[in-house]
Homo-oligomer: A and B are copies of this chain.
Amino acid sequence: MTEEAPALRLHPDRLLPADPGVRTIARRLYDAVRDLPIISPHGHVDAAVLLADEPFRDPASLLVAPDHYVTRLLHASGVPLDALGVGRGPLDEADARAAWRLLCAHWPVFRGTPVRYWLDAELAELFDVDVRPSAATADAIYELIAERLAKDTYRPRALFERFGIEVLATTDDPADDLAAHAALAADPTWQGRVVPTFRPDRYLEPAGSGWAGLVERLGAVAGVGTGTYVGWVAAMERRREYFRAHGATSADHSHADVRTDPLDPADAERIYAAALVGTADAAACTALRRHMLLEMARMSTEDGLVMTLHPGVARGHHPPTGAVFGPDTGHDIPLRVEFTQALQPLLERFGTHPALHLVLFTLDETVFSREIAPLAGFYPAVYAGAPWWFLDAPDAIRRFRAAVTETAGFSRTSGFIDDTRAFCSIPARHDMSRRLDCGFLAGLVAEHRMDEDEALDTAVALVTDQPRRVFKLPTARVGV
C-alpha cells in the first residue's frame, strides 16, 4: 500500500494500565483469559445469516451500513446516512466503495472511541490491514477486505468457529417461528450453538402504533385468543415455552422505565379491552405496561427464563431520520432512569425467588453505585448488567467496575454482553472487556486489595462460570 500512510498495528498491551507495575500484573491475568471461548448471551446477529452461510457482500455492507455505532458519528460529522448505505438494502459496488471511502476519510472523528478500537482490531486481525484508514488508503483497504470476504474462510460459519464462540444468543420477536434456529440446531454439519432470546417489547406497549394487530397475530401464532388480558398472558406463556423449547434462556425488555406497579385483575382487563379498541389514554397504557412487566417477572419465576432489563432510551429522537431510514439508525438517546422504587413491587414479590435471575442494564451511570449495586448486593435474584451500548467503552467499563464492585463484588455482575449487530466485532468487543477487567483487577492487586491468585480466579470466572450461571447457559448444546 502507500508508503507514506501511517501503519495500523495492534499493540499487545493495548488497553492495559499504563503504569508498568500494574501492567505487568494485568498482562499475566489477561494471558489466562485471552483465548477462552466467547459466551455471548445477548446480541443482535441474525440467525438466518449463519443458516444461509453466504459470503458477506462487501466491506461497507458488512462494517458500515448496518452498524449505528459507526454511522452515527459520521452523521454528526455531516455525512448523510444514505451515502453510507443506511436503510438501502444491498449496495452496488460503486456505492459500497463510496460508503467505505466516507468512513476512511472521516477516520479521525473516531479517535478515542471504542468504534475505532473495534474497527482497528477487525481490520488488522481479521483482514490483515496494516495501514491506517484515510481517504488515501480507502480503496486499497476496500480491495483487501473484499478479497478476503470472497474466501470460504470468511463465510459466517467459518468466522463463528474462528472467533471461538461457545454460544451466541440472538434477539427475536415472540411471534417468530424460530425456523432458522431450528434448522441450525438440526443441521448435522454445524456444531455451533445459537439460541434465541424472547423480546416482547412491542406487545407490552398498548399505546404503540399497531399494537392491537400485533397482539392479535401473537394470539394466532400461540393458538390462544388475545381478546382479553388473560388471553394475552396465556399467549405469552405459550410463546415463552416455544422459545424455551428452541433453546432460549432469556427474555429481554426495553421500555422507557422499569416500573412494575401491579393492577387489580379487573383494571388490567378493563384497560386491555380499551387499548384494543384505541380508547385507553396514555396513562392507562403506561399503567398496563408496568403491570405486564411485573407479569413477565412472574412468568420467569415459573419457566426460568432470565429477565434482562435495558430501560431508559428515548427511541427515535429524530423523527425525520426515522421516517426515511427506520429505527436503530443512531438517534436513540438515553434518559435518566430509576430502579429502586420502580422495581420494588417486583422485588418484594420475587426478589428472593430461586428461579428468578433479573439482570439490570443501564445507560444512566448514576444508578450503578446508587441503585444497581445495592440491589444486586442484597437480592439473590438481581445481577448488575455489564456496561451496555454507549457505556461499552474502556473508560465507562472502568467506571462501572469502580462503581459496582465495592458494594456488590464481582460475583453479582453479569459478565460481558456484546449486544451487537456487527458480527465481525464480536471478538474485539469481548477482548476489550477482558483487557479492561484484567486491568481493573491488576489495579486491586497492585494496591494490595486482593491477592493475585484471587484476581486470576475472578478474571477467569468473569468470562466462564459467571455468564453461564447468570444467563443459565450450561455448556451442553440445547436442541429443539
Which A residues form the contact surface with B (CB < 8 A)?
Answer: 6, 10-11, 13-22, 72-73, 75-78, 108-114, 116-117, 132, 314, 317-321, 330-331, 333-336, 338, 340-341, 344, 347-348, 351-352, 363-366, 369-371, 373-380, 382, 390-391, 393-396, 399, 402-403, 405-412, 443-444, 446-451, 453-454, 457-458
Contacts and interface: CB of A to CB of B under 8 A. Distances in A.
Contact of A447 (B15, B78, B108, B111): B15
B112 A318 contact: no
Nearest to A411: B109
A380 B80 CA distance: 10
Given A72-B378, A340-B335, A348-B319, A108 B16 contact: no
B391 A369 contact: yes
Given A18-B21, A344-B314, A370 B363 contact: yes
A114 B365 CA distance: 21
18 contacts: A15-B448, A76-B412, A78-B380, A109-B411, A111-B458, A112-B409, A112-B444, A113-B405, A132-B451, A317-B344, A317-B378, A318-B347, A334-B371, A365-B369, A365-B370, A369-B391, A390-B406, A394-B406
A403 B150 CA distance: 40
A351 B318 contact: yes
Given A333-B340, A365-B370, 10 more contacts: A14-B447, A14-B448, A15-B448, A20-B21, A76-B378, A112-B450, A317-B347, A334-B340, A363-B370, A390-B406
A72 to B, nearest CB: 5
A393 B78 CA distance: 32
A391 B20 CA distance: 29
Contacts of A454: 108, 111
Contact of A75 (B14, B334, B373, B380): B380
A83 to B, nearest CB: 13
